[in-house]
């Protein structure tokens, strides 16, 4: 019987400080056993439990894309016990990863469709995975127009800046980077909140899906904008975060109605969420 | 499944005592004012003259606290930071005197721990290595409602053998092949028609003593949001002190927490029973809590048992009617009243 609680041993291969406030770091992991890597087959939108022996486990969205072979990356915000400890760990340290866990964005359904990605703050992790996945030469023809609206409070808080700039230069993806406010006179992108920029830049919901990840306040104000644009709730896709321990639907704490965020989610359509108690 | 046997009470207890050679045997025994299931070691006196144990027997399959994994934590030690399964004993267990509600309770819990997607290896292995010898209830307590929630005071589901207390003797009925094989090895006379009739009438009498019943249809038909938004939840929760007694004693509450514990240079990953009644249960690292208020947690307990479970598994409610939460709640919150409200 496979033990679903047992993490795979991994080594920290690289650590990148993502934001100016140093609260977000991206960790790159390599598996100690090659067969574990082969077993870890994932899709953008899924998460894993990062397991730090002696401290505990935390659910974190997978920021790398399955098209990037040989490693996994996760971007972690420093908030409490495990995340703070992890932030102090070094390249070469050994820990564990358990997963992949949860469902993923509806890739099968989205084939042949336009995709609008809307992200705010540090919730851009699985969205990064999604963009990298869609832009891969093998996958790019499967999707129509790709639009990204991504905002942070200020330029120093944007994740994956180098990649954002590279995507800006491409003509097969439309980028709308924005910040709430910029004191840098050379800032050449948008200034404004994500919902407002979405309203200005996203012209059509035709044949399109919107994937939205961000702080609750951003999600709350983006929803009406998308609905005004004509996105039906079935095509507005959200990813939830609830406290969880087992991440396989057994420990009982992450439920939203009869759905477990860990196992039935974390990805839900707005249409589905409207049938469930709002406990998230 | 073979024929039932009848044994004098002391003969049967001797059989149980001898079975300790092949099994780890658990029996109810009285400690202070209450009964508990304990391993039948020398010095333990089995007492089958009881209504039910205060704690449910869920801990025999799913311990309140259990080591999952362990590893060394200093770099110079071999296997440092690589968690390995902690050693465990999955030898055969025999639980004697379990009440039918509690045996049925394990079947409710099984749907959580043993599902097509994931199997909890420890729960499953311990459950599979256990044989359940039930004791039917001649005298249900006023708080019992297994007739409505589960298979009733002589319900057979989840048991391998079922015992009837006939006064000086036990009638023992084989339910499963596992039980039948065990009983075949026991010397005893075959049950006669008269004894079988007596057992049948004890069952009927006992069932008559339970007066709570409900129809599950409204629980199935009402939408989750409709029940969730009912105005009565604040009233239901008003007197609750969030002590967690109800979930702790319940045979069908399965929620747990996972914690790492460190002693010197060694880490143990441990799982412990947890409770939806506690605010920390759902508290996010950010400070946000989806079930911050007491009434939200009380609502969660009842919605889980009486609606989410019903929707998820299409197989009854997540309650076996053992009545423990009714009996021991310090402020008399009664799940039967809540069922009434939700079905109303
Ligand atoms: C599906 C999913 C994806 C996530 N993706 C990311 C991500 O990509 N990057 C990121 O920085 N954060 C992410 N989070 C949130 C992250 O899991 C929490 O910030 C983290 O668990 C806090 O752990 P801590 O030990 O530092 O905090 P503490 O407050 O000390 O928490 C103690 C324990 O509570 C649990 N816990 C606390 N908050 C949460 C929470 N919000 N969600 C789940 N469990 C929690 C954890 O088990 C944690 O170890 C995600 C959460 C979920 C559910
Ligand atoms: S036993 Fe009663 S008071 Fe205690 S948490 Fe349960 S319902 Fe509330
Ligand atoms: S909810 Fe109450 S009556 Fe039902 S199984 Fe649990 S403790 Fe027994």
User: Comparing C-alpha atoms, which of A95, A126, A99 is closest to residue A12?
Assistant: A95
**B144 Cβ inside 6 Å of ligand 3:** no
Which of the ligands is closest to the CA of residue B325? Answer: 3
Expressed in angstroms and rounded, the spacing between residue B99 Cα and the centre of ligand 2 is: 23
Query: Looking at chain A, which residue has its C-alpha nearest residue B282?
Result: A243
CA-nearest of A197, A209, A242, A245 to A82 is A245
Question: How many whole angstroms separate alpha carbon B184 and alpha carbon B182?
Answer: 5
A275 phi and psi, to 5 degrees? -90, -5
* DSSP one-letter string for B214-252: --SHHHHHS-HHHHHT-TTHHHHHTT-----HHHHH-TT
- Residue A180 sits at the chain B interface (C-beta within 8 Å): no
- Is B251 near ligand 3, meaning CB less than 6 Å away? yes
CA of B119 to the centre of ligand 3 (A): 24
> What is the rounded distance in angstroms from the CA atom of residue A121 to the CA atom of residue A160?
12
Residues of A in contact with B113 (CB under 8 A): 250
Positive or negative, the Cα torsion across A106, A111, A117, A123? positive
Rounded distance between C-alpha atoms, residue A208 and residue A230, angstroms: 10
Q: Looking at residue A57, what is its pLDDT?
A: 97
- What radius of gyration do chain A's Cα atoms show? 18
Distance to chain B for A184, nearest Cα, Å:
29
Going from the C-alpha of B242 to that of each of A166, B280, B293, B326, the distances in angstroms are 54, 12, 11, 14
Q: What is the distance in A from the centroid of ligand 1 to the CA of A244?
A: 8
pLDDT at A256 over 90: yes
Mutation to probe ligand 2, out of B55, B235, B240 (largest number of atoms < 8 A from CB): B240
Decide if pLDDT at A185 tops 90.
no
pLDDT at A216: 84
Distance in angstroms (rounded) separating the CA atoms of residues B178 and B163: 15
Calculated CA dihedral for residues B176, B182, B185, B189, nearest 10 degrees: -60
DSSP assignment letter at B267:
E
Residue B318 CA to residue B150 CA, distance in Å, equals 10
| Residues of chain A positioned with their CB less than 8 A from the CB of B277 | none
Q: What is the fold of A107-239? A: Rossmann fold (3.40.50)
Q: Of B143, B248, B252, B277, which is best to mutate to test ligand 2, by the most ligand atoms within 8 angstroms of its C-beta?
A: B277
CB–CB of B256 and A245 under 8 A? Answer: yes
- For chain A, what is the mean pLDDT? 96
Closest CA to B240 of B154, B111, B335: B335
Look at residue B2 in the predicted model and tell me its pLDDT: 79
Query: Model's pTM, two decimal places?
Result: 0.94
* A272 φψ region: left (φ > 0), alpha (ψ -120 to 50), beta (else): alpha
Distance between Cα B303 and ligand 2 center (Å) = 15
Distant-in-sequence, close-in-space partners of A33: CB < 8 Å, separation ≥ 6: A8, A9
Whether ligand 3 lies within 6 angstroms of the CB of B323 is answered as: yes
Burial level of A126, CB count in 10 A (0-12/13-18/19+)? Answer: buried
The C-alpha atoms of residue A100 and residue A266 are separated, in whole angstroms, by 12
User: What is the CA(B332)–ligand 2 centre distance, in A?
Assistant: 8
pLDDT score of A182: 83
Q: Domain extents for chain A?
A: 8-101, 107-239
Cβ(A232)–Cβ(A225) under 8 Å? no
Q: For chain B (length 344 residues), average pLDDT per consecutive 10?
A: 91 96 97 96 94 96 97 94 96 97 98 96 97 96 93 96 96 97 94 94 94 93 97 96 96 97 96 96 92 97 97 95 96 96 95
Instruction: Tell which atom from ligand 3 comes closest to the C-alpha of B101.
Output: 5
Q: How many residues does chain B have?
A: 344
B245 lines ligand 2 (CB under 6 A): yes
> Cβ–Cβ of A275/B120 closer than 8 Å?
no
Q: What percent of chain A has pLDDT over 70?
A: 100
Give the nearest partner residue to B258 out of A52, A83, A245, using CB atoms. A245
Is A183's pLDDT higher than 90? no
Side-chain-facing half-sphere of A45: CA atoms under 13 Å: 23
DSSP 3-state helix, strand, coil percentages of chain A (rounded to 5)?
Answer: 25, 30, 45
Instruction: Kindly give the pairing relationship between strand A208-213 and strand A236-239.
Output: parallel
Peptide bond into A100 cis (omega under 30): yes
Q: Can you give the pLDDT at residue A246?
A: 97
In tens, the pLDDT along B111-154 reads 999 999 999 999 999 999 999 999 999 999 999 999 999 999 99
Among the four given CATH numbers 3.30.43.10, 3.40.1010.20, 2.40.30.10, 1.10.645.10, the one describing domain A8-101: 2.40.30.10
C-alpha B264: how far from its chain's center? 36
β-strand partners of A205: none
Q: What is the ipTM of this complex?
A: 0.92
HSE at residue A113, side-chain half, CA atoms within 13 A, is: 19
Q: Is the CB of B101 under 6 A from ligand 2?
A: no
Q: Which residues contact B96 (CB under 8 A, 6 or more apart)?
A: B16, B25, B26, B27, B40, B46, B48, B133, B135
**Tens-place pLDDT, residues A95-145:** 999 999 999 999 999 999 999 999 999 999 999 999 999 999 999 999 999
């Amino acid at each position: 019987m496979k033990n679903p609680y047992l993490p795979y041993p991994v080594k920290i291969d690289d650590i990148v400080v993502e934001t100016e406030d140093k609260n977000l770091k991206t960790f790159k992991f390599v598996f100690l056993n090659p067969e574990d890597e082969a077993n870890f087959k994932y899709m953008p939108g899924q998460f894993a439990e990062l397991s730090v022996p002696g401290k505990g486990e935390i659910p974190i969205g997978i920021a790398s894309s399955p098209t990037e072979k040989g490693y996994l990356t996760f971007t972690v915000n420093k908030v409490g016990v495990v995340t703070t400890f992890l932030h102090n760990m070094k390249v070469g340290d050994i820990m564990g990863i358990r997963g992949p866990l949860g469902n993923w964005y509806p890739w099968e359904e989205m084939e042949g469709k336009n995709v609008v990605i809307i992200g705010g703050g540090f919730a851009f992790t699985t969205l990064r995975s999604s963009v990298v996945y869609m832009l891969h030469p093998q996958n790019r023809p499967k999707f129509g127009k790709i639009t990204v609206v991504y905002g942070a409070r200020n330029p120093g808080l944007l994740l994956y800046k180098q990649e954002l700039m590279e995507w800006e230069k491409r003509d097969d993806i439309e980028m709308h980077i924005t910040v709430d406010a910029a004191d840098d006179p050379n800032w050449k992108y948008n200034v404004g909140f994500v919902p407002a920029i979405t309203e200005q830049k996203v012209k059509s919901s035709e044949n399109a899906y919107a994937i939205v990840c961000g702080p609750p306040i951003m999600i709350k104000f983006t929803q009406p904008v998308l609905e005004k644009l004509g996105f039906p709730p079935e095509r507005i896709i959200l990813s939830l975060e609830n406290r969880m321990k087992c991440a396989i639907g057994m420990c009982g704490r992450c439920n939203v109605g009869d759905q477990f965020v860990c196992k039935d989610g974390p990805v839900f359509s707005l249409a589905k969420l409207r049938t469930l108690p709002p406990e998230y | 499944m073979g024929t039932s046997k009848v044994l004098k009470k002391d003969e049967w207890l001797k059989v149980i005592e001898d079975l300790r050679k092949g099994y780890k045997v658990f029996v109810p025994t009285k400690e202070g004012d209450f009964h508990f299931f304990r391993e039948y070691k020398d010095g333990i006196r089995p007492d089958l003259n009881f209504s039910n144990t205060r704690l449910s027997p869920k801990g025999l399959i799913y311990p309140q606290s259990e080591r999952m994994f362990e590893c060394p934590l200093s770099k110079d030690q071999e296997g440092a930071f690589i968690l390995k399964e902690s050693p465990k004993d999955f030898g055969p267990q025999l639980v004697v005197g379990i009440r039918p509600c509690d045996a049925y309770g394990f079947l409710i819990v099984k749907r959580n721990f043993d599902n097509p997607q994931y199997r909890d290896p420890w729960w499953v292995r311990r459950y599979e290595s256990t044989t359940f010898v039930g004791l039917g209830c001649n005298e249900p307590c006023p708080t019992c409602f297994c007739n409505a929630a589960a298979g009733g005071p002589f319900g057979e589901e989840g048991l391998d053998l079922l015992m009837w207390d006939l006064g000086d003797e036990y009638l023992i009925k084989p339910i499963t092949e596992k039980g039948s094989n065990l009983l075949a090895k026991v010397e005893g006379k075959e049950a006669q028609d008269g004894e079988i009739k007596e057992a049948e009438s004890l069952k009927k009498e006992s069932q008559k003593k339970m007066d709570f019943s409900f129809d599950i249809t409204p629980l199935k038909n009402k939408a989750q949001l409709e029940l969730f938004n009912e105005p009565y939840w604040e009233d239901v929760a008003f007197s609750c002190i969030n002590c967690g007694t109800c979930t702790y004693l319940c045979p069908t509450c399965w929620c747990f927490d996972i914690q790492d514990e460190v002693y010197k240079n060694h880490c143990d990953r441990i799982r412990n029973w947890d409770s939806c009644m506690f605010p920390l249960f759902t508290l996010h690292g950010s400070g946000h809590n989806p079930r911050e208020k007491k009434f939200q947690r009380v609502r969660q307990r009842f919605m889980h048992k009486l609606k989410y479970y019903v929707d998820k598994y299409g197989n009854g409610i997540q309650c076996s009617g053992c009545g423990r939460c009714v009996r021991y709640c310090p402020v008399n919150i009664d799940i039967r009243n809540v069922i009434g409200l939700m079905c109303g």
